[in-house]
């Protein structure tokens, strides 16, 4: 899914705003005079920040800092700017070590760990495959086997080496990095840190449907988020998650139910398995993950959706991840909870 001009996101957001008003009704009804809200457009998508402002906090200063951070991230990590740090690295067709932006190296290493844990299903270098299948221009075109094999040879996190001193080295010069599957979550974390730098301890920060909460509303009530039912032709409530203990927590969902193509009686998901180069074919339509850091939650939700419930649930349990998998069996939605989600404390996540 293309959710912003900076990151090609391969997930459909689970946050069911229905409209901005509905989203804020769940999170802030009854506290409108005590909550500060900032919202706007950045990275080709929308953002909403709702927070309890410390006394005498200058809202305009917060807005300026938020705008500055969005612009800084754009310069470093945008795959749609030729002058960004990531695109400068991608443009260097060499197998020699290259000095890279420290943020990019950090995200590469987070992604590498998840790449290994997912047995290669999750991969930051997958974009050539995404383009090959026609998802880049929304013109679906299943490739011939020869073209698929040729493109697969240009993909692989194992072909990207991290060296001391924030250097990266490509084993093949054609290798490209796309941080769509981790960048939006990273942005949420960075914007949350901007709020905290102003002494804000109670907030809900959302960018493009991915969010992080901390603390409580002014009346002491928890932040509450509506999660939508993962069906392609509906926008209906599935459940409401309540963040009762006020500890920092992010909620991220990846799904197949909004962006797909139907061809010759078969449905093709836009989620690609980097190992085969083909769209996934299992029954899992949605993965929702709770994690204190939205950067990890963003990447893991994509990886677990790629693997599907059968394999992904075992990995989630091994990694102690709090995850809800939803499979679609004919017209029925079937939920599967990881052990960590069943045992989670301080968050009301009602089972169906």
CATH number of the domain that residue 107 is part of: 1.10.3980.10
Using pLDDT thresholds of 50, 70 and 90, give the confidence band for residue 255: confident
Q: Cβ distance 240 to 227 under 8 Å?
A: yes
From 52-61, 96-105, 262-271, the region with the lowest mean pLDDT = 262-271
**What does pTM read for this prediction?**
0.88
Residue 139: the pLDDT is 75
Q: CB-based contacts of 284: which residues, under 8 Å, 6+ apart? A: 256, 305, 308, 309, 312, 325, 326, 327
Q: How confident is the model at residue 238 (pLDDT cuts 50, 70, 90)?
A: confident
Structural domains of the chain, count: 1
Which position has the token pair 């409401």? 240
The stretch 337-346 carries a mean pLDDT of: 96
Across the range 76-82, mean pLDDT stands at 88
In a domain, residue 128? The reply is: yes
Distance CA 334, CA 326 (A): 5
C-alpha Rg value of the chain to the nearest Å: 20
pLDDT level of residue 261 (50, 70, 90 thresholds): low
State residue 19's pLDDT score: 29
Q: Has residue 348 been placed in a domain?
A: no
In sequence order, what E strands does 201-283 have? 203-207, 210-214, 223-228, 237-243, 249-255, 260-263, 266-269, 272-273, 278-279
Quick check: is 102 in a domain? yes
Query: Is 136 contained in some domain?
Result: yes
| pLDDT tier at 227, thresholds 50, 70, 90 | confident
Cα 79 to Cα 86: distance, rounded to the nearest angstrom: 7
Structure tokens at 239: 């459940």
Residue 96 is part of which domain span? 89-175
Q: What is the mean pLDDT of residues 312-326?
A: 97
Report yes or no on 105 lying in a domain: yes
Is pLDDT larger for residue 55 or for residue 28?
Answer: 55
| Residue 265: inside a domain | no
pLDDT reported for residue 93:
92
Mean pLDDT computed over 152-179: 95
Per DSSP, the three-state class of 63 is helix
Residue 28 lies in a domain: no
Name the E strands within the chain. 36-42, 45-51, 98-99, 160-163, 167-170, 203-207, 210-214, 223-228, 237-243, 249-255, 260-263, 266-269, 272-273, 278-279, 284-291, 322-329, 332-337, 347-348
What's the whole-number mean pLDDT along residues 262-286? 81
Reply yes or no on whether the pLDDT at 2 is more than 70. Answer: no
Considering the domain boundaries, does residue 163 fall inside one?
yes
């Amino acid at each position: 899914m293309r959710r912003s001009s900076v990151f090609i996101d391969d997930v459909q957001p689970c946050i069911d705003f229905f409209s901005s008003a509905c989203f804020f009704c769940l999170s802030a009804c009854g506290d409108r005079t005590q909550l500060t809200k900032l919202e706007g457009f950045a990275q080709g998508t929308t953002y909403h920040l709702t927070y309890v402002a410390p006394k005498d906090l200058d809202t305009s200063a917060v807005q300026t800092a938020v705008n500055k951070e969005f612009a800084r991230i754009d310069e470093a990590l945008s795959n749609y700017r030729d002058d960004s740090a990531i695109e400068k690295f991608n443009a260097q067709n060499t197998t020699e070590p290259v000095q890279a932006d420290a943020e990019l190296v950090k995200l590469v290493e987070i992604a590498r760990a998840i790449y290994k844990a997912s047995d290669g299903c999750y991969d930051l270098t997958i974009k050539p495959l995404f383009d090959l299948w026609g998802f880049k221009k929304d013109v679906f075109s299943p490739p011939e086997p020869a073209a698929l094999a040729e493109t697969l040879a240009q993909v692989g996190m194992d072909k990207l080496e991290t060296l001391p001193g924030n250097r990266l080295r490509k084993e093949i010069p054609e290798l490209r990095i796309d941080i769509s599957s981790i960048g939006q979550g990273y942005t949420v974390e960075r914007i949350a840190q901007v709020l905290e730098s102003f002494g804000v301890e109670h907030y809900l920060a959302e960018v493009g449907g991915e969010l992080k909460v901390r603390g409580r509303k002014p009346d002491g009530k928890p932040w509450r988020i509506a999660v939508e039912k993962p069906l392609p032709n509906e926008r209906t409530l599935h459940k409401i998650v309540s963040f009762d203990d006020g500890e920092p927590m992010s909620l991220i969902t990846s799904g197949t139910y909004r962006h797909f193509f139907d061809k010759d009686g078969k449905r093709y998901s836009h989620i690609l398995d980097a190992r085969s180069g083909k769209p996934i074919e299992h029954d899992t339509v949605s993965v929702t993950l709770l994690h204190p850091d939205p950067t990890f939650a963003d990447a893991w939700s994509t990886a677990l959706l790629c693997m599907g419930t059968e394999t992904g649930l075992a990995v989630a349990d091994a990694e102690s991840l709090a995850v809800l998998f939803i499979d679609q069996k004919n017209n029925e939605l079937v939920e599967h909870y990881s052990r960590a989600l069943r045992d989670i404390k301080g968050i009301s996540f009602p089972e169906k």
